[in-house]
Amino acid sequence: MIRRFLLPGSRRSGAIGGVALGLLLATTATAQPLYPLPDPDPFYAAPADLAAHEAGDVLGVRALPALAIFPAATVTLVKFRSTDSHGAPIAATTTVLTPFARQPGGPLLSYQHFINALGTGCAISHKLYSDDLNLVATTPILNVALAQGWTVALPDHLGPQFALGAARLGGHVVLDGIRAVKRLPALAVEHSPAVMAGYSGGGLATAWAAALQPAYAPELKLAGAAIGGAPMNLMTMAETLGLDRHPSFGLAMAAAIGLEREYPDRLPTSSYLNPRGLAVAQDMANSCSNDILTAGVDGSAREYLDNTSIVDSREARSVVEENSLELYPGMPENPILEWHSPKDQQIPLGAIENTVRRWCAAGVRVQTVLVPSVELPSALEHLAPAVLGAPAVLLWLEGRARGELAPTNC
């Protein structure tokens, strides 16, 4: 008998960039994926005629209450049609902050927050109205953009099933969110220059959006993309993690659960967990990052798997590789700013360097900024550049919005 395990969700916050554990998987499922509980708000549900809509079509609009953290802006929730990793239609959402000083044609910034979570309650559109301290890292740069008259869009880039690790999906949601916002006359950004930015998992969604745009949204002209601390190769991260205990194992396991949600036939994670591993997975299934980290702290694949021989699954590896941007042959058309700490131990820096080198060789105007290291615990060493690099990122985005030639240090 097939069982579907679901637990009530946590509402705690997201934290650092995601990692993948796709190596845990094989090819024949005996249990269903651990899907999240549906959002109780019917606004988030897909309409019955979803398939009749084109990517980027607006499916619903809702005015939201004012936000204390963004006091000079109105808030609008936009539901739109996007596409999953297999070409099927999905409904997605983005939260739009419109400054009181908005001028028609002023810049549009799509900012991808670092949401490493598995529960629908962890969506940025919900967390904005919580006491989420992780928003502190990005609130200042967004308030500066708003003060300059920029519109800011904050997409829920993990999609409706919160498929953490499915990075291509994130790129689709980001691009379709920009399309949708531009199609709403009331938001006055139809003719606005559009730029993107994001850090960690949000940086990965930004990077995939930039790389996918020429093929997925060729009509959408982007002025630039700022990508910070992005895990450009999930396969490398999984191999580095290995089978032994790790303080951040919870995020790796969450990524394996998220990838299963997007690729249930190719990555049946739940089918290969032992009772202990399945209990931890159930505990994570509707959680946000802080709870995920706690549930999986110092765990390991060796402890949670029935049989570690499945790490050699070619099918599983292929899915993780498909979501590793270092291995994607497509190139961005817009300029890129890439920033990170040279001492970041949470992400494979070689994958960033290889990706940038390949983009430079193809003629992409890339500027790499190395944020000075500070003496912090390794997890904070990963997070710090999101704040420390913000001034340079905003200056770079301003130049792209003005149409200036992007600097490069290729």
Instruction: List, for residues 77-99, the tens digit of each pLDDT value.
Output: 999 999 999 999 999 999 999 99
pLDDT tens digits, 152-206: 999 999 999 999 999 999 999 999 999 999 999 999 999 999 999 999 999 999 9
Burial class (CB in 10 A: 0-12, 13-18, 19+), 307: exposed
- Three-state DSSP state, 282: helix
Q: What is the pLDDT of residues 31-46, one digit of tens each?
A: 688 999 999 999 999 9
Q: What residue ranges do the domains of the chain occupy?
A: 1-410
At 8 the pLDDT is 30
Looking at residue 275, its amino acid is: P
Write down the pTM of the prediction.
0.91
Contact 309, 136 (CB under 8 A): no
SS3 content of the chain, % helix, strand, coil (to 5): 40, 15, 45
Name the class of domain 1-410: alpha beta
Dist. CA 114–CA 18, nearest whole Å: 9
Who contacts 271 (Cβ-Cβ below 8 Å, separation ≥6)? Answer: 26, 28, 29, 30, 31
pLDDT at 298: 87
More confident residue, 19 or 42: 42
> Does 62 score more than 90 pLDDT?
yes
